[in-house]
Chain A
């Protein structure tokens, strides 16, 4: 049965799927295991939900294992995550001891699967310590880093590095994020899944329902930013841009994001955003549950322009999602946004609220350009940032890692 591949073929074309099949022949029957820390929630789980069945359809034997731990373990790995992103956090010796004890328990439970696999992908810091506990491993072990580690808090990175340096290779999302390690540092950009509820095509009826539900007027333009309420996403700057445009044009602004209950700074930013929006019924601040993907999908689709005016950004998958829906994106000139927003082609890169306002006015005035850029944006994502490209790179890496010292690999 090759149902999933057939579904993707309808989107990306037969050449792309043929190439995946041919590449996968080199890996036929290979026993591959992915390990992360959750089956639900977050970008890693989302990607694995698709990558695993796709690898199996392509003739590999892929499985997905999830490590388990107590509250203290997850508290510790959350601190590690924040530290890798540059926050100065101190993790106590007791916490690290519990991290290692949890790894030991999981290693006992998963030992047979992990040591017997031809290739093991360990995602992020949570399961990183497993490698040192699986001494009889026979396959290649690869650490997949989904985090921006460009400026880590050194104390924590130094500790994790001791675990990670033993891997045969690591994978990073952007060259800017890479930390030096004594093995090949592969680069694979993230991707979106066109079949997920975040990105599937919605009916006009569904879109109309979303407009009605949130009181959005279909006769006036809508601009939207989807992101956490975080200072680096600059939602206040977006409101400023909106106000500058509103002096000339009637328009509506949607600021939609997930909750921030465990993030005191997020709550503070949300309060500022609400106060900034007060008195203007055309600013819609929507605090949505993290799994309300269909609403986010609809909001992106009913928007004329999508903004991602971040002052600091990882890759920016919300940019990819909007572009996939044929929307030009006005994005901050930073991080992975630069890889996706090609100035004057798929959107505009801006540095100030004034810059964003200027581009919003331009695109709303020049509808022809808005449509042209939106169409180019969708094509750019189709060719470069869908899960099929991500899968091709995973397969390529799996072959490459077996011949790590060769630039050109031609298996017979």
Chain B
């Protein structure tokens, strides 16, 4: 029998670092030294801060490349980076820099192009708190998921990947505590793509999967 699942919530607060970039070269240079929490914020922070539900690009670097540097090829390449593939943020930083350097090499004008708007580097602090809710059975979790706050979805389904040894979400980690009983459900959860979506849609998708697997 697995231990009770502790349902938590989180809230994020953004902090300006004072660093900014007005050209692609400057962006590359700042990326070399900026704190890893900045990289995390510009990939994931959009889910928890004011943003329109259906942005054209999912990370801030791609958005800047498209709308401020006006370079579509770079925007497309940056947009394709999936941060869930990088358990180590240092590797994610490297990937970003590699893509930018490759594009700088390809274009004669791009290294000198001034952005119409600067890129402001922002980091964040996450405050995690207990909701005082405990879940003992997966069936209870099924009933709870449709009512989770966006912060809870973020904490247990996205932030968890930085905390758990194999980069799993918290729900799967907990379900694995029941040995093989919920293996099929865990496998199904594993194919939910947490990146190209919103927290509300993610919650709906999760609820659908729990409903499908625990109703039979």
| A interface residue numbers (CB < 8 A to B) | 15-16, 18-19, 22-23, 25-26, 172, 175-176, 178, 180, 184-189, 339, 342, 345-346, 380, 383-385, 389, 392-393, 395-397, 399-400, 403, 406-411
Q: B127 near A: Cβ within 8 Å?
A: yes
Alpha-carbon distance between A333 and B147 when the two chains are bound, in angstroms? 37
Contacts of A176 in B (CB 8 A): 118, 120
- Partner pick for B16 among A172, A399, A411, CB 8 A cutoff: A172
Alpha-carbon distance between A281 and B126 when the two chains are bound, in angstroms? 55
**23 pairs, A vs B, C-beta closer than 8 Å:** A15-B147, A18-B131, A23-B127, A25-B129, A172-B16, A175-B120, A185-B16, A186-B13, A186-B16, A187-B16, A346-B52, A380-B52, A384-B50, A389-B50, A392-B11, A396-B12, A400-B13, A406-B125, A407-B37, A407-B40, A407-B126, A408-B126, A409-B128
Determine if B127 and A18 form an interchain contact, defined as CB atoms under 8 angstroms apart. no
Alpha-carbon distance between A380 and B198 when the two chains are bound, in angstroms? 14
- Judged by DSSP, the binding face of B is strand
Q: For residue B26, give the distance in angstroms from its CB to the closest CB of chain A.
A: 16
Q: B123 near A: Cβ within 8 Å?
A: yes
Residue of A nearest to B162 (CB): A408
Contacts of A397 in B (CB 8 A): 13
Q: A19-B149, A395-B11 are in contact. Are A407 and B16 (CB under 8 A)?
A: no
Contacts of A409 in B (CB 8 A): 125-128
Q: A15-B147, A407-B123 are in contact. Are A23 and B129 (CB under 8 A)?
A: yes
Most chain A Cβ neighbours within 10 Å, of B51, B118, B127: B127
Contacts of B15 in A (CB 8 A): 184-187
Determine if A186 and B50 form an interchain contact, defined as CB atoms under 8 angstroms apart. no
Q: B32 near A: Cβ within 8 Å?
A: no
Determine if A396 and B13 form an interchain contact, defined as CB atoms under 8 angstroms apart. yes
The tally of residues in B whose CB lies under 8 Å from a CB in A reads 31
- Partner pick for A178 among B11, B18, B52, CB 8 A cutoff: B18
Contacts of B9 in A (CB 8 A): 19, 22-23
Q: For residue B144, give the distance in angstroms from its CB to the closest CB of chain A.
A: 12
Residue of A nearest to B116 (CB): A333
Q: B22 near A: Cβ within 8 Å?
A: no
Contacts of B149 in A (CB 8 A): 15-16, 18-19
Interface members, chain B 89-146 (any A CB < 8 Å)? 118, 120, 122-132
Q: B192 near A: Cβ within 8 Å?
A: no
Per-position 1/0 for B1-23, Cβ under 8 A of A: 00000000101111111100000
Determine if B128 and A408 form an interchain contact, defined as CB atoms under 8 angstroms apart. yes
Q: B83 near A: Cβ within 8 Å?
A: no
Most chain A Cβ neighbours within 10 Å, of B50, B118, B124: B50
Alpha-carbon distance between A345 and B129 when the two chains are bound, in angstroms? 34
Q: For residue A394, give the distance in angstroms from its CB to the closest CB of chain B.
A: 9
